[in-house]
Structure 1
């Protein structure tokens, strides 16, 4: 089954000056990025069938991005090259791998899908909504919502990752929550961090926060807990799948590779009557291995492993 990833493709300029931040950093390395592109690349590297839907500038950066994701076996037939400049992001990394972002938005917001394209994309596919910029509005926002609503009407499996970025929504958090509620009502699966759970549910208790999403219609809630693993909430059951020991040097793309690995497995399985309930623990264990390997190297895409590399590695479960 295909996996449709819609949203931004962009250039990450990663600061190589340790702990300097964006204010004081002067040395940067160009990397391909954008959450939907990262997810699609992960699926392709593992051997799946990702289709990336987005827009870049008709410039050297846009050309670089298209060629880069093609190298990860990503279908780019629905990536448009536009007159606007390619979207850029500047990223600074600390010793613990945590990130500081600054965005210079361009062509990604101008994606415009017609009804025929939407229907073609949704044929025999899982829809992943994980764009950090689509909820900001514009033509991308309109296409994003129309694709989601048609996918819901068609019965496609829909996965939603809000991908909250404080630098994009500072002072407008309530607006972000309102927009996200519309997508929670359309989604079958939601992936949030523990911080996003509190922000978007208004609940500090994890069980109550998950129930907030279930009440909106979500079948499965996945709460990533960093080094503590991932909580799965489904059919009134909640349990934590622990993380693996890893030497994290760059967390950029960790969440994208995590959900990408889950979508790869879902696309090669059948949901059954209980919507993958018996499979999700294995899905999360595999995804934890993939994201752990990504964190151990620099770069959201260049760190992605193949399926054989994941299966050939030994992993130790992290003890609390």
Structure 2
């Protein structure tokens, strides 16, 4: 059993879709913990929530393996997102942002750490203080800027020093374009590697993901299922990918497991998976048979 740090805010998500509106636990620590738990690993969460968080959500965090009580900041608000799926493209908004994560919050990290900001909550000093042997990054929170009306504006980001320290960088195709300037996902994925990441993974939604680690990238398909709630799919993908990667598995297989795990979480609502490790591996094996070089 491996302990893996996940550094970034927990969130409360207000999800709006064709079925109505619901409020659920979210944020990378919650979703990656699902993957870790199913694959036999443990989370070391470096996160903060406000004292407005409900006892039910604190209980969920505890059930996911986190020391939830020590995350509560008195007088602060929990980070809260609004995710509107009623439009053709998801509309994302922010209602509140919790206290920033600083360098003095980064201590006693395990050997592996996932840097997973969601809305600029990591200070520069905090990022510099993250010195685990294996580092992975989902840069989404570095690419988002909150406007006064609560809407989110995307912005370019490129921290060559950080990318040079990374073992794995996972980003969506839109995020890769902002980082590299490349509109073609394949070229963008290869460029991420040139920036220094040992393995670059670009997620493509229903078209799966691209994995580059030297030579021609591989395309891993998405598992074909009916989508109920796509929130958190990228987080469980990264969590599952890193669980396998830390066991020394081939990055293409890691992406197959990530894609399989993502397919299971989007069949449910929120940070919940109603399946077993056997289900994950079975779907991953199906996907592995369909991997192609691009």
Instruction: Indicate whether 1:35 and 2:28 are aligned.
Output: yes
How far apart, CA to CA, are the structure 2 residues paired with 1:17 and 1:260? 28
Name the residue aligned to 2:277: 307
Instruction: Indicate whether 1:242 and 2:221 are aligned.
Output: yes
Tell me the C-alpha RMSD between the 2 structures: 3.0
How far apart, CA to CA, are the structure 1 residues paired with 2:173 and 2:216? 18
How far apart, CA to CA, are the structure 1 residues paired with 2:251 and 2:154? 34
Name the residue aligned to 1:189: 168
Pick aligned residue for 2:106 from 113, 118, 130: 118
Describe how 1:1-20 pairs up with structure 2 within 5 A.
1-18=2-19
How far apart, CA to CA, are the structure 1 residues paired with 2:161 and 2:168? 14
CA displacement at 1:218 relative to structure 2: 0.8
Once the two structures are superposed, residues 39-69 of structure 1 have per-residue CA deviations (whole angstroms, 9 ceiling, x without a partner) of: 23331243211111111112343x4433212
Once the two structures are superposed, residues 166-200 of structure 1 have per-residue CA deviations (whole angstroms, 9 ceiling, x without a partner) of: 564856613xx14x444322211111112222221
How far apart, CA to CA, are the structure 2 residues paired with 1:235 and 1:313? 26
Describe how 1:53-64 pairs up with structure 2 within 5 A.
53-61=46-54, 63-64=55-56
CA displacement at 1:261 relative to structure 2: 0.8
Aligned partners of 2:12 and 2:27 also within 8 Å = yes
Shift in CA distance, 314/111, structure 1 to aligned 2, threshold 3 Å: closer
Aligned partners of 1:80 and 1:111 also within 8 Å = no
Name the residue aligned to 2:96: 105
Q: Which moved more, 1:48-57 or 1:236-245?
A: 236-245
Once the two structures are superposed, residues 136-181 of structure 1 have per-residue CA deviations (whole angstroms, 9 ceiling, x without a partner) of: 25xx424531333x33xxxx1100111256564856613xx14x44
Aligned partners of 2:106 and 2:126 also within 8 Å = no
- Unaligned residue ranges in structure 2 (runs of 5+): none
Instruction: Indicate whether 1:85 and 2:94 are aligned.
Output: no
- Provide the secondary structure at the position in 2 that maps to 1:52: strand
How far apart, CA to CA, are the structure 2 residues paired with 1:121 and 1:286? 25
Shift in CA distance, 219/199, structure 1 to aligned 2, threshold 3 Å: same
Describe how 1:251-262 pairs up with structure 2 within 5 A.
251-262=230-241
- Provide the secondary structure at the position in 1 that maps to 2:255: helix
Describe how 1:153-164 pairs up with structure 2 within 5 A.
156-163=133-140
The higher-RCO structure (CA 8 Å, 6+ apart) is: 1
